């Protein structure tokens, strides 16, 4: 029985038209296989299709259709059979469908289009059925829902777009190698290679972008083949490679190669990182580790290494070499006077001038700020001292010539210390230490001198180092202490002040006096923290005595020239006064004549500033070597301290007595007080009183005492504070253990 869905308009089964010969069917023509030309067979074929399908006449009459079409249209089979397709179409799409059918009828060729309905995308295929003359007698129409396929395609396109964007916009140079040649490269890779377009890269092999040899000496082609085999074996590998830019300049890069599988082929995914800047930075760091940044000379580290190397050669050949330490004298004053930029220019000029005089085998390095080391090699074994001394004299003459630094012309001198291998040491450390010892001796001798090391020099250096280290320890462990020597008014016998004198505990029991360590303190710079502590401690103790009723007592503190010249001295003194609460007029600073006679602007400014604050000033060791007295009036000092060398002989030596009398008369004419130090006998004190001296201090009254001992001394003399306020106790005016 025939299926009711297959009828022609006359009620007959539809004709499919004449079949063309085998192999002559046109594309898109619907043909039924042999054995399937019955209506039932046609319906079976159409129902087997997963999408809607129907057969129509050129006028649009449905001749056959499948169940999927009926379900999609939502119409009973009976109403669809023989219906006109145009009546079933949505009015909004009817015209476009009619145009599509008309095109198939006119051309006899298939026509395909897509449309979207209810969020679904339907692909339509209109296929003509031709007669023997090639005319269209029927049209087979198939409709497929391709929504999911289109969504997948869009997702794939978006994924590919993202990949392309990621590939192109990545700042990492990325390239693909296929069959041994570059098949893709992003913009970062082109920039790295200095290429303007990918066409200049694609199709080329990695060998063409590499120098013939890599830095390790291996052939680039041979090494590249080995690394590619390794990548295939491991899946990935990373290595450093020397590439060539478009201009032929080689550069290092870190290359990470990963094998990826694509469409059945193995591709090499390459990521490059340009290491040029990183290598330059490492080279710069390495350079700075071993070279002085200012002068470009080898620094101490490289200099010591060069010395070890030179010593190894000298040892093998039984040769002689010399180590010279050069120090620019008073370089600090260049920085203080002209500023550090000028000082830096001077150091660079000195380095250039010294380097020009080097022999090929000699080595020069900068050890510290203004200190250089020169290694002289290949010296004659029989008479090495002659060329050494000639070199020292030549270098000193060389540096004595003026330096034209643009804004200023400077002159400088240098001291040189020399140690000779092998007699002065067989290792670099010993030779450098002994050369430094000789340099220290050269500085002690005087300006622009040089010294060759001698064994006895180490004794003085050892003593200096021992004292310096002891002072460091004393500062850290609070082993410094002040002793106070009373200063007595010769007319009233009353104690009017004390001089603060520093002592240093050494090794737990020995008490070092200033003469034993002040020189080392000044040379090492430790005089600055030591002097600061002395001022602070003296002011604090004096304030404690004032609080206990001794309100007229003055404390005298001696300042060294090194301490006085430090920029912080003014601030240190004012800070000590502020912290202790001591009034400025009860602090007396003792300065040396030599310091005031220098008449420098900084001396004048500092002294006048102290006077303006009310601080008293005394001249220590007055009369020991200077005849100009103009500074007494200029600086308006308060007191002259007559040196003990004049006081000791005033009773027996008429000349000494006359000198002291002259000093007292000068002071009196300038309204200055006088104090004699080193007074040891009562007759001596009486003589000074008769001569008009105001004050005295010395063993006649008391040796320098700690604050606690000074209290007991006063008790023994039955001296009470001139102003008692409620019965001061011992702890009220004597600070505990200084």
- Looking at the domain assignment, is residue 608 inside a domain? yes
CATH of the domain at 544: 3.20.20.450
pLDDT digit string, tens, across residues 5-63: 554 444 444 443 333 343 344 444 444 444 444 566 677 777 767 788 888 899 989 88
In this predicted structure, what is the pLDDT of residue 590? 92
Kindly indicate the confidence band of residue 191, based on its pLDDT and cuts at 50, 70 and 90. confident
Mean pLDDT of all residues in 106-135: 85
What is the C-alpha separation between 204 and 266, in angstroms, rounded?
A: 18
Q: Any idea which of 144-148, 226-230, 242-246, 527-531 has the lowest mean pLDDT? A: 144-148
% of the chain at pLDDT higher than 90: 40
Q: Is the pLDDT reported for residue 537 higher than 90?
A: yes
The answer to whether 276 touches 259, Cβ cutoff 8 Å, is no
Q: Which residue has the higher pLDDT, 508 or 374?
A: 374
What is the C-alpha separation between 561 and 516, in angstroms, rounded?
A: 17
Kindly indicate the confidence band of residue 173, based on its pLDDT and cuts at 50, 70 and 90. confident
Bridge partners (DSSP) listed for residue 379: 320
Residues 415 and 554 in one domain: no
In this predicted structure, what is the pLDDT of residue 422? 94
Residues 423 and 565 in one domain: no
Residues 251 and 182 in one domain: yes
- Looking at the domain assignment, is residue 61 inside a domain? yes
* 713 contact partners, CB below 8 Å, separation of at least 6: 486, 702, 705
Report the predicted TM-score, pTM, of the whole model to 2 decimal places: 0.50
- Residue 504, CB-side half-sphere exposure with 13 Å CA sphere: 27
Split into its structural domains, the chain has a count of 4
What are the Cα distances from residue 572, in Å, to 96, 534, 575?
101, 11, 5
Find the domain containing 215 and state its range: 170-279
Kindly indicate the confidence band of residue 158, based on its pLDDT and cuts at 50, 70 and 90. low
Residues 620 and 697 in one domain: yes
User: What is the largest distance, in Å, between two alpha-carbon atoms of the chain?
Assistant: 170
Q: Is the pLDDT reported for residue 630 higher than 70?
A: no
Q: Is the pLDDT reported for residue 506 higher than 60?
A: yes
What are the Cα distances from residue 186, in Å, to 172, 191, 194, 204, 256?
9, 9, 12, 15, 15
Kindly indicate the confidence band of residue 184, based on its pLDDT and cuts at 50, 70 and 90. confident
- Looking at the domain assignment, is residue 728 inside a domain? no
In this predicted structure, what is the pLDDT of residue 165? 64
Residues 158 and 55 in one domain: yes
What is the C-alpha separation between 27 and 261, in angstroms, rounded?
A: 37
Q: What's the 3-state SS for 541-592?
A: HHHHHHHCCCCCCEEEEECCHHHHHCCCHHHHHHHHHHHHCCCHHHEEEEEE
Mean pLDDT of all residues in 710-721: 76
- Looking at the domain assignment, is residue 603 inside a domain? yes
What is the C-alpha separation between 572 and 578, in angstroms, rounded?
A: 10
CATH of the domain at 197: 3.30.450.20
**β-strands 136-145, 120-130: how paired?**
antiparallel
Mean pLDDT of all residues in 707-714: 87
Kindly indicate the confidence band of residue 508, based on its pLDDT and cuts at 50, 70 and 90. low
Residues 355 and 448 in one domain: yes
Chain length of the chain: 738
Residues 673 and 557 in one domain: yes
Q: Is the pLDDT reported for residue 142 higher than 80?
A: yes
Q: Any idea which of 150-164, 190-204, 241-255, 297-311 has the lowest mean pLDDT? A: 150-164
- Looking at the domain assignment, is residue 734 inside a domain? no
What is the C-alpha separation between 284 and 427, in angstroms, rounded?
A: 30
What is the C-alpha separation between 399 and 416, in angstroms, rounded?
A: 12
Residues 620 and 587 in one domain: yes
Kindly indicate the confidence band of residue 625, based on its pLDDT and cuts at 50, 70 and 90. low
Residues 301 and 446 in one domain: yes
pLDDT digit string, tens, across residues 509-528: 577 788 878 888 887 888 89
Integer-rounded Cα Rg, in Å, for the chain is: 54
pLDDT digit string, tens, across residues 386-423: 999 999 999 999 999 999 998 899 999 999 999 999 99
**β-strands 250-262, 265-274: how paired?**
antiparallel
In this predicted structure, what is the pLDDT of residue 263? 77
% of the chain at pLDDT higher than 70: 86
Residue 290, judged by CB atoms within 10 A of its CB (0-12, 13-18, 19+), counts as middle
In this predicted structure, what is the pLDDT of residue 735? 37
Q: Is the pLDDT reported for residue 150 higher than 70?
A: yes
Q: Any idea which of 246-250, 412-416, 472-476 has the lowest mean pLDDT? A: 472-476
In this predicted structure, what is the pLDDT of residue 720? 65
Average pLDDT, the chain: 84
Give the CA-trace dihedral at 532, 538, 542, 543, to 10 degrees: 30
| Helix (H) / strand (E) containing 595 | helix 593-597
Residue owning tokens 């899946």: 235
pLDDT digit string, tens, across residues 278-331: 999 888 888 888 999 999 999 999 999 999 999 999 999 999 999 999 999 888
């Amino acid at each position: 029985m025939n299926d009711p869905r297959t009828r022609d308009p006359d009620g007959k089964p539809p004709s499919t038209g004449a079949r063309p010969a085998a192999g002559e069917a046109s594309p898109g023509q619907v043909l039924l296989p042999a054995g399937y030309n019955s209506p039932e067979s046609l319906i079976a074929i159409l129902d087997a299709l997963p999408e809607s399908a129907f057969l129509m006449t050129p006028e649009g009459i449905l001749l056959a259709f499948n169940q999927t079409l009926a379900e999609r249209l939502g119409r009973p089979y009976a109403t669809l059979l023989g219906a006109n397709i145009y009546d079933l179409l949505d009015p909004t799409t009817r015209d476009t469908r009619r145009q599509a059918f008309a095109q198939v009828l006119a051309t006899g060729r298939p026509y395909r289009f897509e449309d979207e309905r209810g969020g679904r995308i339907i692909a339509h295929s209109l296929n003509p059925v031709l007669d023997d003359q090639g005319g269209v007698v029927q049209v087979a129409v198939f409709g497929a829902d391709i929504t999911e396929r289109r969504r997948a395609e869009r997702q794939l396109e978006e994924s590919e777009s993202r990949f392309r964007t990621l590939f192109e916009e990545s700042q990492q140079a990325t390239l693909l190698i296929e069959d041994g040649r570059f098949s893709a490269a992003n913009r970062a890779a082109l920039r790295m290679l200095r290429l303007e377009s990918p066409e200049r890269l694609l199709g080329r092999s990695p060998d063409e972008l590499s120098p013939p040899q890599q830095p390790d000496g291996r052939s680039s082609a041979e090494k590249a083949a080995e690394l590619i085999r390794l990548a295939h074996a491991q899946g990935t590998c990373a290595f450093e490679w020397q590439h060539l830019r478009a201009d032929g300049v080689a550069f290092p890069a870190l290359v990470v190669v990963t094998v990826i599988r694509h469409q059945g082929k193995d591709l090499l995914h390459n990521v490059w990182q340009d290491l040029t800047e990183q290598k330059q930075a490492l080279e710069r760091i390495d350079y700075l580790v071993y070279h002085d940044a200012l002068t470009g000379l080898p620094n101490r580290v490289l200099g010591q290494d060069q010395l070890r190397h030179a010593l190894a050669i000298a040892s093998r050949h039984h040769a002689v070499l010399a180590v010279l330490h050069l120090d620019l004298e008073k370089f600090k004053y260049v920085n203080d006077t002209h500023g550090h930029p000028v000082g830096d220019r001077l150091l660079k000029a000195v380095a250039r001038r010294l380097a020009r005089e080097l022999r090929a085998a000699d080595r020069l390095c900068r050890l510290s700020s203004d200190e250089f080391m020169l290694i002289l090699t290949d010296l004659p074994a029989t008479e090495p001292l002659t060329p050494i001394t000639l070199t020292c004299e030549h270098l000193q003459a060389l540096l004595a010539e003026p330096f034209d630094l643009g804004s200023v012309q400077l002159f400088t001198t240098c001291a040189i210390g020399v140690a000779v291998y092998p007699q002065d040491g067989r290792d670099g450390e010993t030779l450098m230490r002994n050369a430094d010892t000789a340099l220290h001796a050269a500085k002690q001798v005087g300006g622009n001198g040089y010294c060759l090391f001698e064994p006895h020099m180490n004794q003085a250096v050892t003593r200096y180092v021992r004292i310096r280290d002891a002072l460091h320890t004393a500062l850290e462990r609070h082993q410094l202490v002040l002793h106070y020597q009373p200063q007595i008014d010769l007319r009233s016998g009353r104690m009017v002040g004390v001089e603060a004198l520093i002592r240093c505990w050494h090794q737990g029991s020995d008490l070092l006096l200033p003469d034993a360590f002040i020189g080392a303190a000044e040379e090492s710079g430790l005089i600055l923290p030591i002097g600061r502590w002395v001022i602070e401690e003296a002011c604090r103790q004096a304030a404690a005595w004032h609080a206990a009723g001794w309100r007229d007592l003055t404390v005298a503190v001696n300042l060294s020239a090194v301490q006085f010249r430090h920029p912080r001295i003014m601030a240190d003194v004012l800070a000590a006064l502020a912290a202790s609460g001591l009034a400025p007029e009860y602090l007396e600073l003792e300065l040396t004549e030599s310091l005031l006679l220098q008449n420098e602007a900084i001396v004048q400014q500092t002294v006048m500033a102290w006077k303006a604050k009310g601080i008293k000033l005394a001249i220590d060791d007055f009369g020991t070597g200077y005849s100009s007295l103009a500074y007494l009036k200029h600086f308006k000092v308060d007191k002259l301290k007559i040196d003990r060398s004049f006081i000791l002989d005033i009773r027996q030596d008429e000349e000494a007595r006359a000198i002291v009398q002259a000093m007292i008369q000068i002071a009196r004419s300038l309204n200055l007080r006088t104090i004699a130090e080193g007074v040891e006998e009562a007759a001596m004190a009486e003589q000074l009183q008769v001569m008009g001296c105001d004050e005295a201090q010395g063993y006649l009254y008391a040796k320098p005492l700690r604050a606690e001992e000074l209290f007991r001394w006063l008790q023994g003399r039955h001296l009470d504070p001139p102003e008692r306020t409620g019965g001061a106790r011992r702890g009220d005016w004597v600070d505990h253990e200084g």
